[in-house]
Each structure stands twice: as structure tokens, then as C-alpha cells.
């Protein structure tokens, strides 16, 4: 019956609507926006990791040509602290240390790149010239670039009143039960590792424009954000005390975020506040070098863990001790990443009956660390999947077999883990088998020998992972310390002639929402994708929303749209019943058509919407005119995508260079709305995962200088570093949201790093290697091979 051709509903690879504007250079990014009379802000940043500001003299700079104003911490000290959105409690129940995070440094700088002063001038060049004329005298203090240095006895305090530079000391799980499991184990496998610190490097650097209308008292902030409503709340309520009704936040086209654009940054508050003071718009655009030292970084865990096994390789217990680097200040969601997005994921796809995890979060003199694509789940997955491979090697059980023996079986759902989460669905054997087949795992030995004949070391590795998306429900996360709800909002506006505008609180910065969400409407309401517009990223247009991160947009935002569409359909049925003189109970709706059941009497959606807006013949006593509905959807649970990733690598033993030859991803992301977009999301995630495994590392020297502070030294993956990535899906439906969807935005970055590293270790097995730390750079691999050769020679 559904005659929409070509089919554009759920399951169709509709081409991305937004790409025409992106690919033809007609996107509208924050820096493309220019407001009449705008001035330009330049931020003077600290060259030191830790220093007291002894002299800060702006007089000479203020007299420079074009300077409008210069502000320092003295001017903003009365304003609020840049807030943290999640409060963790220590083992003893006391709250975490939450030191003030000033907009501009107040007497002290705590990382290279910390904001010291802002110069506002008629041009960017003049602002920079004046910044060079600001006199700053620093008293350099000892810096702690690593967590070890920050926790060393006698380490300098980064914040007054934060003893030992410790933000919190948290744990989850029953330690006594866990200890007992280890005491009874036939085998214990121990493992220590560092999860390398990463810098997101979204293609579009951050930017912000603040504007103030003195006649109305209205502020507007244009910003590169993944969640404009959250920025409005955090900046308006906590930093600048501007009521929501007087503050509009617009996040227009945003060129990638990967988490780094979730947070409320000082620069947003600075331009908004300065616009109010100066009565003219103030624009700030981050430069790439600046973004290396001011965008939140990701990962940076140091972990010791142990796995207890019985004689058959069944996992009996997991014990984890992690130190997580917070950087110099708490970024918006930093505290929850190594706790509720990490420790709760340590069961993975396995039936491990007891898990105990303690996490110490530590302040250091480095850029704040927060969520980065995957946020906690890549760290958990990497730990677990490397540990399982090591356990396989040390028990002599095949690495695929040991996984199978420990999988949560398909009849165990809903499955309660020992670390709080309850999984609703999954089939880990199915995704594993599909990936083994697609990668020709069985035929690998021949490829290893062929590579050996060319003098190359070939290895293969897999990871069977699980993650949690669409963080939820609000009541639960609230009890765990979240200072916000985690629902989403969707409005469906059916126009008089039947086209549709969708307003969503989710935000698209590369994910293709304008297409996927339109497909939901096409599928349910039968409106062609071309007649569905998706509006997002503007607090003045969209009622409310929590934004996009944690692969939540479809599972949570899409569910809100479905609820709103259900309200549209219910109202439409009443109108249809009136027009066709039937009873509401007899009206059926299927993709655009209302029908009196069992008859050929029908009304199209457009006829219903026209009647709703031109209510000449309308049940006006019963229902209001118009056809627009809003729904808030609060998820009942996380969703649990999972799957299997397999990497095959070749190592050149002469140089240590690792090439990923082949990559296979079989993911269960729940129902697939647009397979092409899913494939793109997985491929992008895998590219970032390969980046973490082989290439990327944010490196500080012992003084806290960022050695990898530009593209010259921070190695992002290039096309030539990436193999063909085979993507397939195997679906089990999410059982608790109306679409059955799970999320696909992060699976690629979560499943891939351990698959690559397991392959690297496999390739090096002739050299007695137990583990290789990420990133597996040529120098590192050469060092291992070289040491192995020396050993063999001795």
C-alpha cells in the first residue's frame, strides 16, 4: 500500500540532504557569521604549565591602535565559575573536589594555553598586536605533567585546598566478593596499561560570537557547540546569570565535534559577557595551534587490572584500578567519563560474575580532559579486550574460543551485570561468527606465510565489544551525580499543505541527522524526504534539548519524534473521523493515508492538515486547530550496541612501520535507518580508532609543555593510513525504545583499537612480546624488534 517511490523510509540509503551545502562550500559555520559592528577577541594564553602571575600590565597594550578593551581575571572575578555538569562522590561519600574554573586566570595559570587576558580590537591583527604588548611576569611553579608527578609526595598543589591533587577516589562493586573470587581462581592474569591521551582536532576549530541588544536586554551567542541548550543553561545560570528568556544560543553548521564541542568553554562566556559590556558583537575564532592547547583532550588513563579464571578459562572476577587524568580544571562532563561511562562497561560481553573497580581522578598541569568519541567505553573495551587476549595466550586457550566460553548467551537477556547496567539484547556469537567469516579468519595462516616470504610480519586480532549509548534514564543519572536530565525533545510541525518541519534538541555536526530524521517522518507519516525539514541548533527555534553525544540522537531524539508523530496521528484520526463521518476507532493510518477501516474511504495527511489550519469543517468543540505536537522522551535504559572488529596488520621489521591491511567490522547497532550513513559512521569511527592504536598521542614534556602541539607532531590518520573497512550489521532490536535502535556513532572508535593492537601483538609473537602500548609507532615497534633481536643474539 505504501507507494512512496523511491522508498525513503527506514532501511533506505537515502543520500544525505545536507551534503549539497557542505560539499559545495555553502555550509554556514560560526566563523562564516559576521555581525554588524563586530569587534574581534584574541586570547592571550599562558606559555607556562604552572605559574603565578606576578605582574599583569595591560596599559601599553590598551593604547595600541584599534584596541577596544582588554580584560583580565580581575574584571571577571565576580562572575561564576565555568561549571562542571557531573558530581562524583568519593568512596567515603564526600563529594569530589571541584575547584573554581575561572573565565580568565585569577593570579595563577595551570596549563599551557590557560586564558590570561582577552584583547578586543577592531581587527584580529590589532588584537594580536596588542596582546604582544601586554606585560606579564610569571613566577614559574613546579609543574605536574603526569598523574604520577601530581601525586608524588611534596608535589605542588595545583588548586588551593585540593590535597594531593586528587579530584576523587571512587569505586564500584563489592570488594569482598571480588577478593573471594580471586582467592578461588585457578589462574590470575595481570595487566598494566596506559590509554593514550588524544586530541580530537575537529576540522572546524571552535569559534564564538557574543551579541547584546541593549534595547531588549537580549544576549545571543553563536557557537560551535554540540548542544546549544546545555550551553545556554550552563553559561546563563552558572557563569553570567542571564535568564534563559534573555539568552539565545545558536549552534549553526558545526564541522565535527567528537565530544570536544560538548563542553561549555570559557571563550563562550568571555565573548557574551564582553558583548554586554561593550554593546557591540564580539567574535573569537580559535586557531589550530590554539585549539591543541585549549580544546578538551580525551582518554589518558593509567590502569592496573587482573582477571581471575577457573581451570576452563571461565572468567571468575575482574579487578581494576584506574587513574584518570582530569587536566588542570574539570571540564563539563569529565568526572563521569572514567566512572559511569567506563567502570560500568567492564563486564563487556562476558558473564564475569564479580567486578571491582576503583578510580582515582587526578588534577595535572595539562589541558582539561573530557569525553572524546566513545568516552570511557573505548578505555574499558581496550582494557578488557587486551586482557582477554593476554589471558588466552597465558592459558593456552585459543583467543576466539576463550571469548565464546565467556559470552553472555542470547537467552540471558535482560542481563544484569555486576556493575549496574542491565543489557536488553544482543547476540555476540552471531556478530563474532559473521566477522570471522567476512575476514577469512580461518585462512589467515596462509596470509601470514605469504607475508613472511616477503619479509613482513603479519598478524590478526579481534575484539568482541559492547558499549552503552543514549545515556539514561534521567532519574538514575541524577542519582549518580548528573546535574542535568538526559531526555530529548522533538516537535513535529505538519504545515497546512502537508510538508513537515521537525524541531529537534539533538544537534548534527556531521552525523546526517537532516536525512535520518527526515526518513523517520517519511516512514511514519508518508511525507517525502524532500518535504521534511529538520531544524536544530537554535534555542530560539527548538523548544529544548540536550544535544548530541554518546550516540544518543536517534535512540533518544528519534524516539521523541516518534512520540510526537504518534500524537499527530492520534489527532489526525479525530479530524479524519469528523471529515469522513466515521468513528475515531474505525480510522486506520498507514504512512500518509487515513482510512475508514474496511472501506475505500480515505483522506491524505495533507487534507487533514489543511482542515486543521483552515477549520471550516472541523470538530472545533473537541480539538484545537493546527497540527503540531511536541514530545519529551526520557529513555528507560541505555542502549547496548556491540559486535566484533577484526584487524589484520603487516609490520615491516626493518622500520617498525605497521600497515593495517584489512579491517572488518560487524556491528549490532539495532534497527538501521540509513545503511549508508551507518557505514560512514562506522568507517569514521574506525579511522579514529586506528589513529589511537597506531598514530595519535598528546605528549607533554616534564615541564608541561605540549610537544605534540601541532599537526607537525600530532599524527592524525590520513587516507593512506587506512585500509578498506568492511562494514556489516547484524541486528538485534533494542527492546525499550520505539524504534528498536541502539546507536552507531561511536562503535567504530570503541571496537577498533584493541582489534588493531591484538593484531600487532599477534604479528610480533615471534619476539616474545606480551603487550604493546598505544600508539604502536614505528619507533616503538622497531625498539621491540631490535630488543628481541639483541636478546636472540645474546
Residue 715 or 722: the one with the smaller Cβ distance to other proteins is 715
84-123 footprint of other proteins as x/- string (CB under 8 A): ----------------------------------------
654 in contact with other proteins (CB under 8 A): yes
Q: Could you tell me which residues are beta bridge partners of residue 298?
A: 198
Q: Are 225 and 251 in contact (CB under 8 A)?
A: yes
125 in contact with other proteins (CB under 8 A): yes
Q: Tally DSSP H helices, then E strands, for the chain.
A: 20, 30
Question: Sign of torsion, CA 52 54 58 60?
Answer: negative
Omega before residue 414 within 30° of 0, cis: yes
Q: Which stretch binds other proteins (CB under 8 A): 142-150, 570-578, 639-647, 708-716?
A: 708-716
Residue 241 or 710: the one with the smaller Cβ distance to other proteins is 710
| Chosen residue from 37, 243, 279, 783 binding other proteins by CB under 8 A | 783
E strands in 102-172: 108-109, 115-121, 135-140, 166-172
| Chosen residue from 155, 156, 430, 699 binding other proteins by CB under 8 A | 699
Least spacing, CB of residue 385 vs other proteins, in Å: 24
Residue 175 or 786: the one with the smaller Cβ distance to other proteins is 786
CA distances 739 to 17, 50, 554, 682, 746, Å, are: 22, 50, 9, 20, 19
Least spacing, CB of residue 782 vs other proteins, in Å: 6
Least spacing, CB of residue 100 vs other proteins, in Å: 32
Start-to-end Cα distance in the chain: 78
Residue 183 or 711: the one with the smaller Cβ distance to other proteins is 711
**DSSP H helical ranges for 103-216:** 124-133, 147-151, 175-183
Gap between the Cα atoms of 420 and 726, Å rounded: 33
Gap between the Cα atoms of 379 and 323, Å rounded: 12
Residue 720 or 794: the one with the smaller Cβ distance to other proteins is 720
655 in contact with other proteins (CB under 8 A): yes
Residue 123 or 617: the one with the smaller Cβ distance to other proteins is 123
617 in contact with other proteins (CB under 8 A): no
Residue 57 or 701: the one with the smaller Cβ distance to other proteins is 701
Residue 256 or 778: the one with the smaller Cβ distance to other proteins is 778
Least spacing, CB of residue 793 vs other proteins, in Å: 15
Residues with Cβ < 8 Å from 718, sequence gap 6 or more? none
Gap between the Cα atoms of 674 and 431, Å rounded: 20
Residues with Cβ < 8 Å from 744, sequence gap 6 or more? 551, 641, 667, 669, 672, 678, 681, 682
Residue 577 or 695: the one with the smaller Cβ distance to other proteins is 695
3-state secondary structure of 61: helix
- Interaction residues for other proteins, span 246-305 (CB under 8 A): 289
> What is the DSSP secondary structure assignment for residue 246, as one 8-state letter?
G
702 in contact with other proteins (CB under 8 A): no
Can you give 193-224 as a three-state secondary structure string? EEECCEECCCCCCCEEEEEEECCCCEEEEEEC
Residue 131 or 309: the one with the smaller Cβ distance to other proteins is 131
- Interaction residues for other proteins, span 713-752 (CB under 8 A): 713-715
Closest by CA position to 555, among listed 641, 427, 485: 641
| Chosen residue from 87, 474, 531, 708 binding other proteins by CB under 8 A | 708
Angle (nearest 5°) at CA 303 between 302 and 305: 170
Gap between the Cα atoms of 639 and 734, Å rounded: 6
65 in contact with other proteins (CB under 8 A): no
Gap between the Cα atoms of 527 and 518, Å rounded: 9
CA distances 499 to 9, 493, 494, 526, 590, Å, are: 16, 8, 6, 10, 17
Residue 620 or 711: the one with the smaller Cβ distance to other proteins is 711
CA distances 289 to 284, 524, 570, 711, Å, are: 14, 47, 54, 9
| Chosen residue from 35, 89, 128, 636 binding other proteins by CB under 8 A | 128
Residue 457 or 484: the one with the smaller Cβ distance to other proteins is 457
Residue 383 or 781: the one with the smaller Cβ distance to other proteins is 781
Gap between the Cα atoms of 378 and 346, Å rounded: 11
Q: Which stretch binds other proteins (CB under 8 A): 267-275, 502-510, 528-536, 709-717?
A: 709-717
Least spacing, CB of residue 552 vs other proteins, in Å: 33
Least spacing, CB of residue 693 vs other proteins, in Å: 13
| Chosen residue from 786, 787, 791, 792 binding other proteins by CB under 8 A | 786
CA distances 330 to 81, 84, 93, 196, Å, are: 11, 6, 19, 19
Closest by CA position to 466, among listed 374, 584, 564: 374
How many residues touch other proteins under the rule CB under 8 A: the total is: 23
| Chosen residue from 63, 152, 540, 707 binding other proteins by CB under 8 A | 707
47 in contact with other proteins (CB under 8 A): no
Least spacing, CB of residue 142 vs other proteins, in Å: 22
Residue 292 or 594: the one with the smaller Cβ distance to other proteins is 292
Residue 84 or 693: the one with the smaller Cβ distance to other proteins is 693
CA distances 790 to 156, 452, 569, 767, 768, Å, are: 42, 20, 74, 11, 12
- Interaction residues for other proteins, span 148-167 (CB under 8 A): none
Residue 60 or 183: the one with the smaller Cβ distance to other proteins is 60
Q: Which stretch binds other proteins (CB under 8 A): 174-182, 335-343, 482-490, 711-719?
A: 711-719
Least spacing, CB of residue 699 vs other proteins, in Å: 5
779 in contact with other proteins (CB under 8 A): yes
Least spacing, CB of residue 663 vs other proteins, in Å: 19
Closest by CA position to 647, among listed 633, 631, 630, 665: 665
Question: What's the full length of the chain, in residues?
Answer: 794
Question: Sign of torsion, CA 123 128 129 135?
Answer: positive
Q: Are 264 and 283 in contact (CB under 8 A)?
A: no
677-696 footprint of other proteins as x/- string (CB under 8 A): ------------------x-
791 in contact with other proteins (CB under 8 A): no
| Chosen residue from 142, 619, 626, 778 binding other proteins by CB under 8 A | 778
Least spacing, CB of residue 201 vs other proteins, in Å: 12
Q: Are 30 and 691 in contact (CB under 8 A)?
A: no
- Interaction residues for other proteins, span 622-651 (CB under 8 A): none
Binding-site ranges for other proteins (CB under 8 A): 125, 128-129, 289, 654-655, 657, 695, 697, 699, 707-708, 711-715, 777-779, 782-783, 786
Amino acid at each position: 500500500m505504501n507507494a512512496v517511490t523511491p522508498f525513503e523510509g527506514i532501511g533506505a540509503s537515502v543520500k544525505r540532504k545536507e551534503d549539497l551545502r557542505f560539499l559545495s562550500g555553502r555550509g554556514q559555520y560560526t566563523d562564516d557569521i559576521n555581525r554588524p559592528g563586530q569587534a574581534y577577541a584574541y586570547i592571550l594564553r599562558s606559555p607556562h604549565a604552572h605559574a603565578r602571575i606576578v605582574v599583569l600590565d595591560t596599559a601599553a597594550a590598551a593604547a595600541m591602535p584599534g584596541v577596544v578593551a582588554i580584560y583580565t581575571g580581575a574584571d571577571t572575578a565576580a562572575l561564576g565559575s565555568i561549571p562542571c555538569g557531573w558530581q562524583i562522590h568519593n568512596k567515603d561519600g564526600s563529594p569530589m573536589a571541584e575547584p573554581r574554573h575561572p573565565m580568565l586566570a585569577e593570579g595563577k595559570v595551570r596549563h599551557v594555553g590557560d586564558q590570561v587576558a582577552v584583547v578586543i580590537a577592531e581587527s584580529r591583527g590589532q588584537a594580536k598586536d596588542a596582546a604582544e604588548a601586554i606585560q606579564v611576569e610569571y613566577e614559574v611553579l613546579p609543574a605536574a605533567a603526569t598523574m604520577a608527578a601530581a601525586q608524588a609526595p611534596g608535589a605542588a598543589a595545583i588548586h588551593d585546598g585540593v590535597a594531593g591533587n586528587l579530584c576523587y577516589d571512587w569505586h564500584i562493586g563489592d570488594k569482598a566478593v571480588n577478593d573471594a573470587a580471586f582467592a578461588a581462581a585457578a589462574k590470575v592474569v595481570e595487566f598494566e596499561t596506559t590509554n593514550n591521551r588524544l586530541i580530537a582536532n575537529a576540522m572546524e576549530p571552535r569559534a564564538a560570537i557574543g551579541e547584546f541588544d541593549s534595547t531588549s536586554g537580549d544576549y545571543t551567542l553563536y557557537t560551535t557547540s554540540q548542544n546549544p541548550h546545555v550551553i545556554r543553561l550552563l553559561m546563563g545560570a552558572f557563569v553570567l546569570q542571564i535568564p534563559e528568556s534573555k539568552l539565545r544560543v545558536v549552534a549553526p553548521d558545526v564541522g565535527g565535534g567528537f565530544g570536544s564541542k560538548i563542553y561549555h568553554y570559557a571563550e563562550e562566556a568571555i565573548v557574551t559577557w564582553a558583548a554586554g559590556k561593550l554593546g557591540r558583537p564580539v567574535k573569537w575564532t580559535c586557531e589550530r595551534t590554539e585549539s591543541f592547547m585549549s580544546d578538551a583532550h580525551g582518554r589518558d588513563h593509567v590502569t592496573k587490572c587482573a582477571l581471575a579464571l577457573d581451570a576452563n578459562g571461565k572468567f571468575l572476577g575482574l579487578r581494576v584500578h584506574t587513574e584518570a587524568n582530569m587536566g588542570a580544571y574539570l571540564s563539563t562532563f569529565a568526572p563521569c567519563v572514567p566512572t559511569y561511562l567506563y567502570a560500568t562497561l567492564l563486564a563487556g560481553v562476558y558473564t564475569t560474575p564479580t567486578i571491582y573497580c576503583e578510580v582515582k581522578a587526578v588534577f595535572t598541569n595539562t589541558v582539561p580532559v573530557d569525553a572524546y568519541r566513545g568516552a570511557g567505553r573505548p578505555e574499558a573495551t581496550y582494557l578488557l579486550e587486551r586482557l582477554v587476549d593476554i589471558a588466552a595466550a597465558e592459558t593456552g586457550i585459543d583467543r576466539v574460543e576463550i571469548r565464546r566460553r565467556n559470552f553472555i548467551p542470547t537467552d540471558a537477556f535482560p542481563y544484569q551485570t555486576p556493575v549496574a547496567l542491565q543489557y536488553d539484547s544482543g547476540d555476540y556469537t552471531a556478530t563474532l561468527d559473521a566477522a570471522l567469516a567476512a575476514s577469512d579468519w580461518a585462512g589467515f595462516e596462509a596470509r601470514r606465510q605469504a607475508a613472511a616470504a616477503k619479509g613482513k610480519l603479519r598478524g590478526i586480532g579481534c575484539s568482541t565489544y559492547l558499549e552503552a549509548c543514549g545515556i539514561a534514564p534521567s532519574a538514575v543519572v541524577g542519582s549518580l551525580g548528573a546535574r542535568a536530565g538526559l531526555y530529548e525533545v522533538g516537535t513535529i510541525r505538519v504545515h497546512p499543505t502537508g510538508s513537515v518541519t521537525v524541531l529537534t534538541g539533538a544537534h548534527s555536526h556531521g552525523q546526517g541527522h537532516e536525512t535520518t530524521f527526515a526518513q523517520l517522518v517519511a516512514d511514519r507519516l508518508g511525507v517525502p524526504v524532500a518535504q521534511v525539514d529538520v531544524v536544530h541548533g537554535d534555542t530560539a527555534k527548538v523548544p529544548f534539548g540536550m544535544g548530541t553525544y554518546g550516540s544518543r540522537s536517534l535512540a533518544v531524539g528519534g524516539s521523541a519524534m516518534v512520540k510526537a508523530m504518534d500524537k499527530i496521528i492520534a489527532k489526525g484520526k479525530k479530524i479524519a473521523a469528523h471529515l469522513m463521518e466515521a468513528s475515531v476507532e474505525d480510522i486506520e493510518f498507514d504512512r500518509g493515508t487515513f482510512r475508514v477501516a474496511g472501506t475505500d474511504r480515505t483522506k491524505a495527511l495533507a487534507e487533514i492538515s489543511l482542515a486543521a489550519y483552515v477549520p471550516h469543517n472541523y470538530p472545533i468543540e473537541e480539538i484545537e486547530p493546527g497540527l503540531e505536537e511536541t514530545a519529551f522522551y526520557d529513555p528507560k535504559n541505555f542502549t547496548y550496541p556491540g559486535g566484533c572488529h577484526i584487524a589484520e596488520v603487516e609490520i615491516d621489521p626493518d622500520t617498525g612501520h605497521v600497515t593495517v591491511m584489512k579491517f572488518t567490522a560487524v556491528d549490532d547497532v539495532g534497527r538501521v535507518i540509513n545503511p549508508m550513513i551507518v557505514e560512514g559512521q562506522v568507517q569514521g569511527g574506525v579511522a579514529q580508532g586506528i589513529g589511537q592504536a597506531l598514530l595519535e598521542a598528546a605528549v607533554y614534556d616534564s615541564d608541561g609543555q605540549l610537544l605534540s602541539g601541532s599537526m607537525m607532531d600530532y599524527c592524525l590518520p590520513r587516507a593512506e593510513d587506512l585500509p578498506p573497512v568492511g562494514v556489516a550489521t547484524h541486528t538485534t532490536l533494542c527492546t525499550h525504545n520505539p524504534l528498536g535502535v541502539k546507536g552507531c556513532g561511536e562503535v567504530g572508535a570503541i571496537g577498533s583499537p584493541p582489534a588493531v593492537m591484538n593484531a600487532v601483538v599477534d604479528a610480533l609473537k615471534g619476539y616474545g612480546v606480551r603487550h604493546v602500548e598505544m600508539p604502536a609507532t614505528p619507533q616503538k615497534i622497531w625498539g621491540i624488534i631490535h630488543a628481541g633481536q639483541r636478546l636472540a643474539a645474546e
